[in-house]
């Protein structure tokens, strides 16, 4: 049986990747943000997971408003990034995973979730920035990645409760996979933020901290929110919390918080990070 060893949540803003490429981690602006990550990198280095399931959102690179899967699952041997408007980032392609991916696809459909199955997709900062953050120098190619994409851009979006249940279904699918792989799960993006409109720059740090508390002890409480609630309380892009909820669903049972970091603002976001391990 494949085993989920824990979950990691992190902001995915493109500026993080740029700061690392330019060696700005120890500058006044970035110091507190990057200080959160070495213990998580050490944990990954100790644990040596074989596979990462990464919940992310496609911000319009591959899945634009005209074709927007509610949930999408990557089943490809490799994923490349592409031009998001500033030229193609010169980072290595992400290694895919095909056997567990297809097992998850089959199990999801068997349990009444019907994702779009993707054998050829480009991945954006929502997926690549967290990997580069965990493996500095973009040294993530040893890790087999299963991208799981949740619509956070185009209404109607899947409800927080549904994203949590989707994560649980994936967690159970992993547990039923005949293999001895160690799996880590990422929830990326968030927390409170709004990138445009009248409330551009809006952040709600109290709400962000409450979300991180509840993610550990009572994730069900977060599933009571609607997407409209999240937008009102945390800004238009706070719906990215849904990826954190899907990650938490995957962990299935009780978890222990090993690390947490929170800095706001980083770019336009409340930048949270957590390392949760299965009890």
Which stretch in 39-47, 178-186, 253-261, 262-270 sits in contact with ligand DHB by CB under 6 A?
Answer: 262-270
**Is residue 59 involved in binding ligand DHB (CB under 6 A)?**
yes
**Is residue 268 involved in binding ligand DHB (CB under 6 A)?**
yes
Closer residue to ligand DHB in complex, CB, 203/277 = 203
Q: Which does 15 bind (CB under 5 to 8 A by kind): ligand DHB, Fe ion, none?
A: ligand DHB
Shortest reach from residue 193's CB to Fe ion, in Å: 8
Number of residues interacting with ligand DHB: please give it, by CB under 6 A.
12
Beta carbons within 10 angstroms of residue 174's beta carbon: 24
Tokens matching residue 240 = 């990215």
Binding mask 164-203 for ligand DHB (x = CB under 6 A): -------------------------x---x-x--------
What does the alpha-carbon distance between residue 196 and residue 183 come to, in Å, rounded to a whole number?
Answer: 36
Among 14, 36, 74, 272, binds ligand DHB (CB under 6 A): 14
**Is residue 263 involved in binding ligand DHB (CB under 6 A)?**
no
Is the N-terminal amide bond of 156 cis, ω within 30° of 0?
yes
Tokens matching residue 222 = 């977060």
**What is the distance of C-alpha 158 from the center of its chain?**
15
Q: Long-range CB contacts (< 8 A, 24+ apart) of 200-203?
A: 200/268, 201/265, 201/268, 202/234, 202/235, 203/235, 203/264, 203/265, 203/268, 203/269, 203/270
Among 181, 192, 227, 269, binds ligand DHB (CB under 6 A): 269
Look up 193 and say whether it is catalytic.
yes
3-class secondary structure, 262: strand
Contact 195, 268 (CB under 8 A): yes
Report CA-CA distances (Å) from 20 to 14, 27, 36, 189: 10, 11, 14, 17
Contacts to Fe ion by CB under 5 A: 189
User: Of residues 111, 125, 138, 155, which has the active-site annotation?
Assistant: 125
Look up 125 and say whether it is catalytic.
yes
Binding interface with ligand DHB (CB under 6 A):
13-15, 59, 189, 193, 195, 237, 240, 267-269
Tell me the catalytic residues. 125, 193
């Amino acid at each position: 049986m494949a085993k989920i060893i824990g979950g990691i949540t992190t902001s995915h803003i493109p500026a993080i990747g740029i700061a690392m490429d330019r060696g700005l981690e120890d500058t006044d602006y970035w110091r507190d943000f990057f200080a959160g990550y070495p213990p998580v990198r050490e944990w990954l280095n100790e644990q040596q997971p074989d596979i990462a399931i990464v919940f992310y959102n496609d911000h319009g690179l591959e899945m634009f408003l005209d074709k927007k899967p509610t949930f999408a699952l990557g089943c490809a041997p490799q994923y490349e990034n592409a031009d998001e408007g500033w030229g193609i980032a010169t980072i290595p392609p992400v290694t895919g995973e095909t056997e567990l991916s297809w097992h998850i696809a089959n199990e999801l459909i068997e349990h009444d979730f019907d994702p779009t199955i993707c054998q050829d997709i480009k991945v954006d900062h929502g997926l690549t920035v967290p990997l580069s953050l965990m493996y500095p120098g973009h040294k993530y190619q040893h890790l087999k990645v299963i991208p799981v994409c949740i619509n956070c851009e185009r209404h109607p979006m899947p409800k927080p409760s549904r994203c949590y249940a989707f994560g649980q279904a994936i967690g159970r699918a992993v547990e039923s996979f005949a293999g001895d792989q160690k799996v880590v799960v990422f929830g990326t993006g968030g927390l409170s933020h709004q990138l445009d409109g009248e409330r551009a720059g809006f952040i709600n740090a109290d709400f962000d901290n409450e979300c991180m508390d509840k993610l550990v002890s009572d994730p069900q409480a977060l599933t009571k929110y609607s997407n409209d609630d999240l937008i009102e309380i945390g800004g238009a892009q706070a719906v990215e919390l849904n990826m954190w909820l899907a990650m938490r669903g995957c962990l299935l049972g009780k978890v222990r918080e090993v690390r947490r970091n929170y800095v706001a603002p980083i770019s336009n976001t409340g930048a949270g990070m957590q390392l949760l391990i299965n009890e």
